[in-house]
């Protein structure tokens, strides 16, 4: 049918956009990570993107990856990033079950406002969260200042720059993402199942452990996957407050701004992309495996 064929063309602008500005750049990134590293330290700065296919074939090397995996520093950055992101993803999801539950299962005046408050950090970039943790828990943040006024001792001062400060800051901007996703999952939950379990004599813990948790597990796991990806990519917080921890996104940023070593930064990006995407995919698969009922 003629009309059918022409109608499908409406998707073309999007496909062209994605091809030119997402797929091609990502392929270029992968290709460029195999070119010998430049950067000001090596004295090999060159025009970014200045190679043709022929040149590329002649210069292709694993130099960047050998440096990356041979150097304990970058491996530790990668490890820090992955462990921190996973821990934060799991922690924030557990924490956000509470507001998601409240939003679905209870009624109170001002619920929309409460929901709006919870979504505030959604559009905050990492730097803003970093600033906020500094004004709350920095050297002379609001909380130490209040504690000093109350007790005469500025407790919790400088917490912002420690690992716990980093964790708090990351959880801060995971709250809306985790809450909204979990809320949708809980809304879909069939509460008749809970009533059935109760009428069969299940205790509270049995209802939670054998009915609620197994049925919500896929949603919980996919929320973890999402939160993980967001944490991996967000480097604004770390840029402001991570003074003691080397994290992969910050290393990439420094490699570009400090040494202009685009080739090595590309290799770091490729590793980060591979790790993020495989972990994300694995978690999503895991979530699907736990579906008790088939999705529509």
Within residues 51-90, the interface with another protein by CB under 8 A covers: none
35 — phi, psi (to 5°)?
-95, 145
| 253/122 Cα distance (integer angstroms) | 23
- If one asks whether residue 145 binds another protein (CB under 8 A), the answer comes out as yes
Residue pointed to by tokens 């009624």: 107
238 counts as binding another protein under rule CB under 8 A: no
Q: CA-to-CA distance for 241 and 236, rounded, in angstroms? A: 9
- 134 neighbors 145 (Cβ within 8 angstroms): no
Shortest Cβ 45–another protein spacing (Å): 14
What are the residue ranges of helices labelled H in 154-209? 163-188, 191-199, 204-206
Residue 36 gets which letter from DSSP?
P
Where does this chain touch another protein (CB under 8 A) — which range of 53-61, 67-75, 158-166, 170-178? 170-178
State in angstroms the smallest separation of the CB of 70 from another protein: 22
Sole binder of another protein in the list 64, 77, 261, 276 (CB under 8 A): 276
Measure the CA–CA gap between 248 and 232, rounded to whole angstroms: 8
Segment near another protein (CB under 8 A), from 36-44, 54-62, 153-161, 225-233? 225-233
Binding segment (CB under 8 A) for another protein, from list 46-54, 55-63, 66-74, 287-295: 46-54
Q: Is 150 in the site for another protein (CB under 8 A)?
A: no
| DSSP three-state, residue 156 | coil
Contact region for another protein (CB under 8 A) — 52-60, 61-69, 153-161, 177-185?
177-185
Question: With CB under 8 A as the contact rule, which of the stretches 53-61, 63-71, 151-159, 173-181 interacts with another protein?
Answer: 173-181
Residues in 202-221 that interact with another protein by CB under 8 A: 204
State the Cα–Cα distance between residues 107 and 223, nearest whole angstrom.
24
The interface region with another protein, picked from 36-44, 64-72, 154-162, 196-204 by CB under 8 A, is 196-204
- Minimum CB–partner distance for residue 277 and another protein (Å): 7
| Residue 120 interacting with another protein (CB under 8 A) | yes
Subset of residues 254 to 273 that bind another protein, contact rule: CB under 8 A: 256, 262, 265-266, 269-270, 272-273
Return the closest-CA partner of residue 249 out of 273, 225, 281, 282: 273
Q: Are 150 and 65 in contact (CB under 8 A)?
A: no
Contact call for residue 40 and another protein (CB under 8 A): no
Site for another protein in 5-34 (CB under 8 A): 7-11, 13-15, 17-18, 21-26, 28-29, 32
Would you state the structure tokens that stand for residue 291, as one six-digit string? 């579906």
231 φ, ψ to 5°? Answer: -65, -40
Q: Which residues contact 222 (CB under 8 A, 6 or more apart)?
A: 181, 283, 284, 287
Could you say which of 187, 243, 285, 289 contacts another protein (CB under 8 A)?
Answer: 187
Angle at 179 between CA 178 and CA 181, to 5 degrees: 65
CB of 65 to another protein, least distance (A): 16
């Amino acid at each position: 049918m003629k009309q059918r064929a022409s109608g499908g063309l409406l998707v073309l602008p999007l496909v062209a956009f994605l091809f030119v500005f997402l797929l091609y750049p990502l392929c270029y990134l992968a290709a460029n990570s195999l070119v010998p590293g430049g950067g000001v330290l090596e004295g090999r700065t060159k025009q970014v993107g200045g190679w043709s296919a022929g040149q590329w074939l002649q210069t292709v090397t694993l130099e960047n990856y050998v440096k990356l995996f041979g150097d304990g520093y970058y491996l530790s950055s990668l490890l820090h990033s992955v462990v921190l992101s996973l821990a934060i993803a799991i922690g924030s999801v557990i924490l956000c079950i509470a507001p998601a539950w409240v939003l679905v299962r209870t009624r109170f005046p001002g619920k929309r406002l409460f929901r709006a408050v919870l979504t505030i950090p959604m559009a905050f970039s990492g730097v803003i969260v970093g600033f906020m943790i500094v004004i709350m828990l920095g050297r002379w943040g609001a909380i130490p200042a209040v504690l000093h006024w109350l007790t005469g001792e500025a407790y919790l001062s400088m917490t912002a720059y420690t690992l716990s400060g980093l964790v708090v800051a990351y959880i801060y901007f995971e709250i809306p993402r985790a809450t909204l996703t979990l809320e949708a999952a809980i809304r879909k939950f069939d509460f008749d199942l809970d009533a059935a379990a109760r009428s069969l004599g299940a205790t509270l813990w049995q209802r939670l452990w054998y009915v609620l948790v197994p049925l919500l597990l896929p949603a919980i796991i996919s929320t973890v996957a999402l939160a993980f990806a967001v944490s991996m990519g967000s480097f604004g917080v770390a840029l402001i407050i991570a003074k003691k921890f080397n994290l992969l996104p910050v290393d990439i940023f420094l490699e570009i701004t400090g040494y202009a070593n685009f080739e090595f930064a590309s290799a770091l990006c490729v590793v980060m992309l591979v790790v993020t995407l495989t972990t994300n995919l694995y978690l999503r698969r895991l979530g699907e495996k736990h579906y008790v009922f088939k999705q529509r």
